Structures are given as structure tokens and as C-alpha cells.
Structure 1
Amino acid sequence: MLDDTDRRILRFYQADPGLTAAQLAAQAGLATATCWRRVERMIENGVIRGNRAVIDWRALGYEVEVSLRISLDKTNSRAFDEFIAEARSVPDVIEIQTFLGRVDVRLSVIARDMAHYQDIYRKRILSLPHISDIEALMHVARIKSDETLPL
């Protein structure tokens, strides 16, 4: 379990994962070696799963984001597995989520423009197996996108 010192380290770390060990230790009020041991322990325990680059896909020319809510044909016992395996291979699908309820899967798809999206939808999405229903929601604005935890 995490103690208050671990939470303090995580608050600073998630605010700026680019901090050096010494900078993180100074902000957390710890010796560098002590701070780094705690960080390594949190990595080993799976609390910290890694650092990653967050790329603004709009800056790369992708202007369209569509959320597809998909219901699958549940009469086939392999429907989920086969659908997910195929959906993973579509490079324009940037997120896949599964649900319990009327909607089984949500795909987040990005495209350069509407013509590009139409091409992806017709050639890649509609060819995915076991789709019984699909609803497209055009993304208008991202109001909040925050992966930091209230530690």
C-alpha cells in the first residue's frame, strides 16, 4: 500500500514525468536515493507503468475523431475475440473499449478529414466481423482529458 510520501512523489511525478530523480526528490522533500528507491518499488509493484509521449494527433493533420458504438452478434461465441483482433489491426483506431450492456465495444477513430473517415469506415470498419449494430458519434470538443489521479 502507498503511504503519504509515495503519494507525494506520485503527485509531482504525474505533474511532470520528465523530472530528473534529483528534481523529483527535491520537490518531494526527500534524498535522491530514497526517492528513487520508492519510485523503483512503485514501478516493480505496477503502480507506475511507464512514461509515454503524448502526441497531439491534430498537430499531425488529423482533424476528425469519431466514436463508434458497436453491438456485436452474440450468437457467435467467438464474436468478441474475433472482432477485437481485427479492430486492433486498423491503424486509425486509437482506442478500443468493451462494455456490458446494449453497446459491446467503443472504437475511437481518427481521420485527416471527412473523406478519409468515410474511406476508413467503408473499407476497414464495416468489414470488421460480427457487427450487428453501429452508431457513429462525431467528436466536437474534448472538455476534459486528464489522466492524473487525485493523490
Structure 2
Amino acid sequence: MLDDADRRILRQLQADPTLSGAELAERAGINAATCWRRLERLRERGVLRGSRAVIDWRALGYTVEVSLRVTLDKTVPRAFEDLADAARQIPEVLEIQTFLGQVDVRLGLIARDLAHYQQLYRERILTLPHIADLEALMHVARIKTDETVPL
């Protein structure tokens, strides 16, 4: 699916997504026109989905990170969809993951401090639909976060 030139392009983008087209081509060892065509092809094939700004939420005053493990009432046919739709409306919920197993959903959320988390928990989280059980895990440290793909 990918050849060596594609892999070099993607490795360089992962290492430094701010590279100009010319810099990317030079580091990947190809000319700029070829690099541009390959980038377009990678986008068309869905390999390269875009770029984004990564904002450090701690720098904006959010000091608390919590993972909520949710078990849903499985007697409700649309429990997953209803919960996900409602959780999307909470700006502090940064991540929603679904699982197969005892835990159905994990919500990753941030709060400014413990008082803010308590308010979110009472006013927004506990009002989410179809929750049968809820476990909160307070994050202490992030040991590894890496979204790069081995190429």
C-alpha cells in the first residue's frame, strides 16, 4: 500500500507537521512536485486525514483529568447512542470510547480543579442517560502519549 517514499513523507510529517512543502520534499528525498502529488494521493486514500493544532489544556488552567468508566443499562436499545449524544454536549468531555466487555464506555474529561470536577460530575455526568454503573479514575500522571505510527 505504501512505498518507501510515502513512508519517508509520513515519518517527516509526524516528526514535524509544520514543515513547508519544500522542506518536507527535501527531508523525504524527493522533489517538491512529487511530494505534493504523493500528499494528495495519501489524502485521497484516507491515509493522511489532515493536520490539527494540539493545545495543552493545562496551560489554559485545567488541572484535573478524569477517566469515567461507564456501564450502560443494556435493556435500552439506544443506550450507546443516547449516552454518546449527550456526552458530546459537555465541552469538558474530550474523549468518548466504546468497548466490548464489562465497561461499555470510557469518557475522558478535564476540569479546572476539583470543585469544577465535582460540579461537572453532579450537574452533567450524573444526568447522562442510561448509566447503570459509573467508576471515576483520577489521572495522576501521563506516562506515555504518542500518536505516531511506526512506519
Q: Normalization by structure 2: what TM-score?
A: 0.99
Letter in 2 for 1:78: R
Question: Aligned runs of 1:57-72 on 2, under 5 Å?
Answer: 57-72=57-72
Equivalent position of 1:92 in the other structure: 92
Percent of aligned pairs with the same amino acid = 70
Displacement of 1:95 after TM fit?
0.4
Q: CA deviation at 1:78?
A: 1.0
What secondary structure does 2:85 align onto?
A: helix
Aligned to 2:26: 26
1:71-150 mapped onto 2 (5 Å cutoff): 71-150=71-150
Q: Secondary structure at the match of 1:118?
A: helix
The CA distance in 2 between the partners of 1:15 and 1:36, in whole Å, is 18
Q: AA paired with 1:125?
A: I
Root-mean-square deviation (Å): 0.5
Equivalent position of 1:44 in the other structure: 44
Letter in 1 for 2:52: R
CA distance in 2, matches of 1:13, 1:65: 29
Question: In structure 2, what is the Cα distance between the partners aligned to 1:76 and 1:34?
Answer: 53
Q: For 1:77 and 1:21, how far apart are their aligned partners in 2?
A: 49
Aligned to 1:83, what secondary structure does the other structure show?
A: helix
Unaligned residue ranges in structure 1 (runs of 5+): none
Aligned residue for 1:8, secondary structure, equals: helix
Cα offsets for 1:120-141 (capped at 9, x unmatched)? 0000000000000000000001
Q: Number of matched residues?
A: 151
Amino acid paired to 1:55: I
After TM superposition, give the deviation of residue 4 of structure 1 in Å: 1.1
Deviating beyond 3 angstroms after TM superposition, the runs of 4 or more aligned structure 1 residues are: none
Deviation, structure 1 residue 97 = 0.3
**CA shift at 1:142, angstroms?**
0.6
Separation of aligned partners in 1, 2:29 and 2:2: 17
Q: How far apart, in 1, do the equivalents of 2:66 and 2:37 lie? A: 43
In the alignment, structure 2 segments of 5+ residues that lack a partner are none
Offset from partner CA, 1:74-109 (integer Å, 9 cap, x none): 001011111111011011100000000000000001
Structure 1 counterpart SS, 2:37: helix
